[in-house]
Amino acid sequence: MPHPVVSEPGSEDPLTFAVCERDKSTLQMVREALEDGNVMLAYQPVVGATNGKPAFYEGLIRVLDDKGRIIPAGQFMDVVETQELGREMDCATLRCGLNALARTPALRLSINMSARSIGYPKWLQILKRWLKEDETVAERLILEMNEDSVMQVPELVKTFMTDLQPAGITFALDNFGAGRTSFRHLKNFYFDIIKIDRSFVRDCDTDADNQCILAALITIGEQFDMFTVAEAVETQAEAEFLVNAGIDCMQGYYYGAPEVKPAWLPPVKGHRAARAG
């Protein structure tokens, strides 16, 4: 009879070890990028369904690694999200977004944040300082939170939105339909925009299940007087279906990839580039 394999104390299976090492490497890369100021936004248009013109842009955070490569958020946010480093990343995102709004008076910009950052004093200080210095920023700023983070602290989110509503800030709920938003909470929030999750947009021109779900989500948006945005639109057929379904806006590679240096964005001026949050 073979003897059972007994792991030595402290030993890990190779996969767990590899994941841990990868996460450590990711955290270090993000930490160094923040310390060196190697963060930026990539701007993707969100266009009107009927006219195809940008209604606003979403600013997606990017970092530069030690080789100068631009790393999208999808490759690091899951690792940093629950840590203080995630709050610092939200601070950097907010700074970049507010800088862009200050440099481009005609810009309306959505930037991502975790609901966890609502209770992070540094993040709130950055926002309040800018709102005080430039009254036009609030009415052009959209704060975008995903469903999962919102539902972890719903009461805190509600209070946060109530406090900031008088300033004129717009609020967007990201990945709508894919998370666990309770309709009991939804009617008590102050979201102006819902962004329908990409999983329901994909192949919506041919997928009957997605067509049914999209119709329901668009109806919810109409009922709660919220602007509806379809994420990750990639084909003309998807776009045409969504227009006919009554969507308000669309975002995705069919309309434009995220750009770190769009033609409409003026260069950073010295005092703004050096400004601390």
Per-residue model confidence as pLDDT tens digits over 197-245: 999 999 999 999 999 999 999 999 999 999 999 999 999 999 999 999 9
Tens digit of each residue's pLDDT (9 = 90 or more) over 115-135: 999 999 999 999 999 999 998
Q: In this predicted model, what pLDDT tens digit does every residue of 15-49 receive, in sequence order?
A: 565 657 777 888 899 999 999 999 999 999 999 99
- Dist. CA 267–CA 222, nearest whole Å: 39
Amino acid identity for residue 138 in this structure: A
The three-class DSSP label of residue 109 is: strand
Q: Does position 194 have pLDDT exceeding 50, yes or no?
A: yes
- Specify the DSSP class assigned to residue 27: H
pLDDT at 269: 65
What's 247's DSSP letter?
-
Whole-prediction pTM:
0.88
Say if residues 76 and 30 touch (Cβ distance below 8 Å): yes
Beta-bridged to residue 56, according to DSSP, are: 46
Asked if residue 7 has pLDDT above 50, the reply is: no
Three-state DSSP class for residue 123: helix
Domains and CATH numbers, the chain: 25-258 (3.20.20.450)
* Reduced 3-state DSSP string for 127-178: HHHHHHHCCHHHHHEEEEEEHHHHHHCHHHHHHHHHHHHHHCCEEEEEEECC
Question: What one-character-per-residue DSSP string does 93-108 give?
Answer: HHHHHHHHHHH-TT--
